[in-house]
A and B are shown apart, each in its own frame.
Chain A
Amino acid sequence: AQSVTQLDSHVSVSEGTPVLLRCNYSSSYSPSLFWYVQHPNKGLQLLLKYTSAATLVKGINGFEAEFKKSETSFHLTKPSAHMSDAAEYFCVVSESSGTASKLTFGTGTRLQVTL
């Protein structure tokens, strides 16, 4: 069985400061890991994904995440927050990168960006 734990339900940062959203996972197999962003009343947009290639993954909008197997972590970071980054972020694990694989979502982290 697979599971995802997002350690913070809410993170608040000032514009221009770094962002760290934490995610730990549990998986019986080699997982694929994703970070998705959701703006209010919108669908989910993929930020980045790890699928057993490079452990440091760069995504859109300046976000990146590092897969650390020894720590079972996949934390999301950004060097400098922008007001437009305010949204809900979901860490997601899949035990198969093939088709029809089931996704398990974390509970989400709401990122607030203040002036």
Chain B
Amino acid sequence: GAVVSQHPSWVICKSGTSVKIECRSLDFQATTMFWYRQFPKQSLMLMATSNEGSKATYEQGVEKDKFLINHASLTLSTLTVTSAHPEDSSFYICSVQGVTEAFFGQGTRLTVV
């Protein structure tokens, strides 16, 4: 199955700064990647669908100007949290959809102080 690598695995940043999270598909060319957010003790919520070479598709309620997604190649999608605030603190997970199942990165724990 596909191997998906996320970086960094955890990050602490100050309010007002921006943070970039990378999601790499190591052995699978992914035209589409998915970004999820998971608040403590809650389920995963889809934030956006990242499309290689075109604009991402955002779920209702997710601010596209705050969560910038770039999918410049078939193996890399990035999520940038701009002007981060403490309420953005969460666990962010990316995934790649294979033929019959999804493969997930190990997640990024973002803490905004």
Contact = CB atoms under 8 A, between A and B. Distances in A.
Kindly name the residue among B91, B93, B97 whose own CB sees the greatest number of chain A CB atoms within 10 A: B97
B31 interface: yes
Tell me whether chain B's interface is mostly helix, strand or loop, or mixed.
Answer: strand
B43 A42 contact: no
Interface residues of B, number: 28
B6 interface: yes
Interface stretch (B14-22, B77-85, B102-110): B102-110
A97 B100 contact: yes
A84 interface: no
A87 interface: no
Contacts of B93: 43-44
A99 B29 CA distance: 12
A77 B52 CA distance: 39
B65 interface: no
Given A32-B100, A42-B107, A100 B32 contact: yes
Given A42-B107, A43-B6, A49 B44 contact: no
A99 B106 contact: no
A35 to B, nearest CB: 11
9 contacts: A32-B100, A41-B10, A44-B95, A44-B104, A92-B102, A98-B99, A105-B43, A107-B42, A110-B41
Interface of B: 4, 6, 10, 31-32, 34, 41-46, 49, 91, 93, 95, 97-107, 109
